């Protein structure tokens, strides 16, 4: 039996800062169904293909953090309040339960699924620490949402203009303890560094992979990636995978 459906979302609020923004949707049929880590294939008016987005659920609303990368994401950021969109979901898998304490590391638009996970874990009484890495203080509008999860929040900016200076992955190794579970979503260097920190202490770690997607439901094969155990389709087998399964590209900087 299929778990997803085509839902109707109404944009009720938005906050856009340059090429980044937060879209808040009223989506009563989806908020109950979605689990942290799962994604939606979201309609963009005037575009044939939908775009995958991993939202958070907070206060009965759907929160989508968007980075304008191309016509689809910029089209989403330009939507007027009141716009109604279709969204296929919930799609993909969810984050597994942590073993003990949960250490969450987000960067960029990875904040959506991890904010959602932090909220669920705190509500279930699990000790949760949420590290977020931002370029500068322009992402400060995220702080109230991060704090509203109830998790211990550590906010980093590359230029030190807000919170702690540097990358969250630089401090992560000093915060890890035996029994922790690590979750990382964001740019690949951030996920790679978090995965390495976890592996050094033999801790379980999970990441959420991005891939180009069309259908979002396993039919078009456009999201195929090679893992250490063989090929998978990110939309159906993921997007959440054990970090030890992933081939990370070697890029010079840590983020
Ligand atoms: C499971 C999942 C969840 C996601 N959640 C979010 C989210 O919450 N917020 C958000 O802003 N974005 C998210 N993304 C990424 C988002 O879907 C893409 O940025 C978007 O589809 C790009 O469409 P576009 O028309 O704006 O840009 P395009 O013109 O299609 O692409 C712009 C540039 O980005 C690259 N690109 C596009 N899509 C991807 C991709 N999936 N992976 C890697 N590079 C890509 C292209 O190669 C190109 O260089 C998610 C992706 C996945 C797979
Ligand atoms: S997006 Fe079509 S198979 Fe994954």
Cα of 161 vs centre of ligand 1, distance in Å, is 27
Tell me if 238 CB under 6 Å of ligand 1.
no
Tell me if 223 CB under 6 Å of ligand 2.
yes
Cα of 223 vs centre of ligand 2, distance in Å, is 5
Q: What are 208-242's pLDDT values in tens digits?
A: 999 999 999 999 999 999 999 999 999 999 999 99
CATH hierarchy code of domain 5-91: 2.40.30.10
Ranges in the chain annotated CATH 2.40.30.10: 5-91
pLDDT of residue 2: 67
Ranges in the chain annotated CATH 3.40.50.80: 102-245
C-alpha 54: how far from its chain's center?
6
Pocket test for ligand 2, best of 221, 231, 232 (most atoms within 8 A of CB): 221
Q: What are 51-75's pLDDT values in tens digits?
A: 999 999 999 999 999 999 999 999 9
Tell me if 124 CB under 6 Å of ligand 2.
no
CB 189 within 8 A of CB 255: yes
Q: What are 84-118's pLDDT values in tens digits?
A: 999 999 999 999 999 999 999 999 999 999 999 99
Q: What are 153-207's pLDDT values in tens digits?
A: 999 999 999 999 999 999 999 999 999 999 999 999 999 999 999 999 999 999 9
Identify the architecture of domain 102-245 in CATH: 3-Layer(aba) Sandwich (3.40)
Residue 196 CB contacts under 8 Å (≥ 6 apart), including other chains: none
Q: Is pLDDT at 3 greater than 90 in this prediction?
A: no
pLDDT of residue 255: 40
């Amino acid at each position: 039996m299929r778990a997803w459906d085509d839902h109707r979302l109404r944009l009720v609020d938005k906050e856009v800062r340059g090429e980044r923004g937060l879209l808040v949707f009223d989506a009563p049929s989806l908020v109950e169904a979605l689990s942290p880590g799962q994604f939606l294939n979201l309609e963009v008016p005037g575009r044939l293909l939908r775009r995958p987005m991993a939202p958070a659920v907070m206060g009965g609303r759907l929160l989508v953090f968007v980075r304008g990368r191309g016509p689809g994401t910029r089209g989403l950021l330009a939507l007027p309040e009141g716009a109604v969109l279709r969204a296929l979901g919930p799609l993909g898998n969810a984050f597994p339960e942590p073993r003990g304490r949960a250490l969450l590391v987000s960067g960029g638009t990875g904040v959506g699924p991890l904010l959602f996970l932090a909220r669920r874990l705190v509500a279930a009484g699990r000790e949760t620490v949420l590290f977020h890495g931002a370029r500068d203080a322009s992402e400060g509008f995220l702080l109230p949402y991060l704090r509203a999860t109830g998790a211990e929040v550590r906010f980093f900016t590359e230029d030190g203009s807000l919170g702690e200076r540097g990358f969250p992955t630089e401090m992560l190794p000093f915060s890890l303890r035996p029994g922790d579970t690590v979750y990382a979503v964001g740019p690949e260097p951030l996920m790679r560094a978090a995965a390495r920190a976890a592996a050094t202490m033999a801790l379980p770690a999970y990441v959420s992979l991005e891939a180009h997607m069309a259908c979002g439901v396993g039919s078009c094969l456009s999201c195929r990636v090679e893992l250490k155990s063989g090929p998978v389709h990110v939309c159906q087998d993921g997007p959440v995978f054990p970090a030890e399964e992933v081939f990370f590209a070697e890029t010079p900087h840590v983020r």
